[in-house]
Chain A
């Protein structure tokens, strides 16, 4: 499988199915693991990094995680390809921008990805569409079991899985749920959600995680603590708060409809119109427009566009994707032109 095989479609987790998928876009779990007989990456030399990369790559292949798993060495591919993989959520920004021997393995459905030599020797990730953290945990736990038979993980009974950064030590697990919360944003109730979430030791982040700007009303909620609670407990804490947030968002949507139906419909239709006619669309603007239209579809205001198409457009119109699509590097004005024409094409039937 080549990267160009991925450009025509998107990962399974964007298909817009699964529990509460009108608001919960995806559920994701990642595990951080290190191999016992190597230093962590910041203190590893070139030779050790290479040995790690080869060892882990072979063990991943050997573990028979999924039949169609493909492995890419990130040093061998172009910056645009790496950006593309970031936008697909298959690798992190740090992994793309890193240096030295490092790689990623992922399956065709893009549900599973394994980053080699990121901040830790191994980062396993599972993403599912909708609100399905428990299922994601089941899958990732099995993958981890297969790998643990082949790799001697750095582990202590006191501190659990030992990681390069003490913020990940213990379970090494980050569980996160991506939410679309336009109405809470519009009604300025989103801060209340943040407060409630932070009281539970959870954090809120933007679409691409750590330190990124919130856009398109997309938020990721994930655990901060990784030590002192079991994986299941952590998942239960997140699972307990999500239904409260989704029903809060639904309430906000309802009150918007009952109090200012015309304004809301106008906003949604204008955004839809803009997507259909605009000749230049910036990446910030498109997130905003898609967010409005997505809510319009959920509320039944717009009926002639599929949720899957909308979810995909959030990803397919990102800079790396547009450049892959065109097969060349583009500056920001060129991207804005191509983005607009791509969206017009996708929305006309």
Chain B
């Protein structure tokens, strides 16, 4: 196979580029590959995606721009430009800016996964309950009524013990 760039040398470099959803193959000689390498469209890094997302959704720049975390010293503006938070407290301090961002990123703003055992039994139960409700919704969506009934019973049982709704 000839190099598709200079059409002279033998192609020894086979690159696969992905631009959006399109995959493109390139067959090049070593030299042409070297010179072209810097121009190749890279898959955007998560940080690039993140900062562009932040810029799209993060609201009330004026209001938020003055906020600085009293614990770690990170400002909201620094977070906006780097996409990294400075401490666990930032999730509370920058909450207003984070909620729309999380919604956009994860289509949710509520954790329903694992709970560390230190966080207490109550929380573990609350999360299990949320997971059951989630499953129930899915079962209803799929019209799997048998499974839905089963889940409903479980939820009642749970709520009873828990003295919740």
Contacts and interface: CB of A to CB of B under 8 A. Distances in A.
Interface of A: 34, 36, 38-40, 42-43, 119, 141, 144-145, 148-149, 152-167, 169-171, 173, 185, 188, 190-191, 194-195, 198, 201, 204-206, 210-215, 217, 224-231, 233, 282, 284-285, 287-288
Nearest to B123: A157
B59 to A, nearest CB: 15
Contact of A43 (B18, B23, B86): B86
B16 A185 contact: yes
Interface string B70-82: 0111100000001
Contact of B91 (A39, A148, A156, A233): A156
Contacts of A162: 88, 91
Given A185-B23, A213-B15, A40 B131 contact: no
Judged by DSSP, the binding face of A is loop
Contact of A228 (B110, B118, B126): B110
Interface of B: 12-18, 21-23, 25, 30, 33, 40, 42-47, 50, 71-74, 82-88, 91-92, 98, 101-102, 105-119, 123, 126-127, 131, 134
Contacts, number: 175
Contact of B117 (A34, A149, A159): A149
A96 to B, nearest CB: 16
Contact of A164 (B44, B84, B101, B127): B84
Contacts of A284: 12-15, 33
Nearest to B122: A157
A127 to B, nearest CB: 20
A210 B46 CA distance: 7
B72 A166 contact: no
A175 B101 CA distance: 22
B73 A43 contact: yes
In this complex, the member of B13, B42, B87 whose beta carbon has the largest number of chain A beta carbons within 10 angstroms is B87
B17 to A, nearest CB: 8
Contacts of B82: 42
B109 A228 contact: yes
B151 to A, nearest CB: 14
Given A213-B16, A228-B106, A285-B13, A42 B86 contact: yes
A39 B115 CA distance: 21
8 contacts: A40-B85, A153-B116, A160-B111, A165-B50, A210-B45, A215-B15, A228-B110, A230-B131
